[in-house]
Amino acid sequence: MDSKEIKDKNQWNSFLLCNDAHLLQSWQWGQFQEQCGRPVWRLAVGDNAKILAVTQVIKYELPLGKSYLYCPRGPVVGDSQITSPRSLFEKIKKIAKQEKAIFLRVDPEVEEKSELAKFLREMDFNMAEKQVQPKDTLFLDLTKSEEDLLADMHHKARYNIRLAGRKGVVIRRSTNTTDVNKFYTLMEVTTERDKFSAHPPEYYQKQIEILGRDNLLRLFLAERKGEIIAAAIVSFFGDKATYLHGASSHKHRRLMAPHLLQWEAVKEAKKRGMRLYDFGGIAPSDADNNHPWSGITRFKRGFGGEEKNWVGAMELVYQPVWYRGYNLLKKFR
């Protein structure tokens, strides 16, 4: 089987849409990464002009002229084509040599016991020391009616949605620059409060500009009396909506704006014909209340849904000595 670089947006996305692929493998996500200054390769392997598997490869620079390659939520493999990525990895190895890459990271949206995960282990991929994309996540089934979705929620989540409405919280959608700046201001407050890091403001600006252009992304803003008190960036790709980023005001926490915000995003996804709503990362099922994600996990579980556990990030090492040094330095950062 031959591997090649795909140059046609429709050909690329068509394969993804037929195989339940994630937004992070989409053509537009690659364009966004290119705007962030990162080289991107869109590779496919096929047989008699039929595409069997693809993966979008993004280069991340490291000090001393080194780099690593990353396939977010890839590779994407067609039905019964589990071994087809072999040719992709041969092509990526050549790219890695050219780009002085220390390792290749993949994190396909498959379960640990899947055939693809088994194949990756056979190809000498090992579990990464740190995850990038959520390993545990929560999905809502949007084929259910709004009434059934509400009935499946914890009673406090239903109450909080209605409370926010009664308190005068309203939700609007946006992609304009001014609103993205307001979102980032709220994000800074959230990261300081909850002790996590955010991307620079240009990251969100470019993300919304590029993906919003094709109607794949929306910024949802919860306002009361003209003040933004919660916000969320949600993507819409294929038949799945995904909650990507969120921020909220602690001062106005009693207004329960994030509950109404998520419910409006869920309803928007249903209107668009989405089949699933992905709430993003949650704490593992066996985590205790001291887990750093315990609060956000409790919030998300209040909406009901089904939890999924993916195989997680796996890495194929090209330069073992540099790889050990890379992981050692990461521990001290």
pLDDT confidence tier of residue 65, bands split at 50, 70 and 90: very high
Q: What is the pLDDT of residues 145-201, one digit of tens each?
A: 999 999 999 999 999 999 999 999 999 999 998 999 999 999 999 998 888 888 999
Q: Which domains are delineated in the chain?
A: 2-132+311-331 (3.40.630.30), 136-309 (3.40.630.30)
Q: Which two tokens stand for residue 81?
A: 């084509």
pLDDT beyond 90 at 111: yes
- The pLDDT value recorded for residue 126 is 97
Q: Which two tokens stand for residue 123?
A: 């190809």
- The pLDDT value recorded for residue 193 is 87
pLDDT confidence tier of residue 206, bands split at 50, 70 and 90: very high
Query: In whole angstroms, what is the distance from residue 230 CA to residue 90 CA?
Result: 45
Nearest CA to 128 out of 280, 328, 270, 316 is that of 316
- The pLDDT value recorded for residue 79 is 81
- The pLDDT value recorded for residue 316 is 99
- The pLDDT value recorded for residue 218 is 97
Q: What is the pLDDT of residues 257-289, one digit of tens each?
A: 999 999 999 999 999 999 999 999 999 989 999
Q: What is the mean pLDDT of residues 103-122?
A: 96
pTM, 2 dp = 0.95
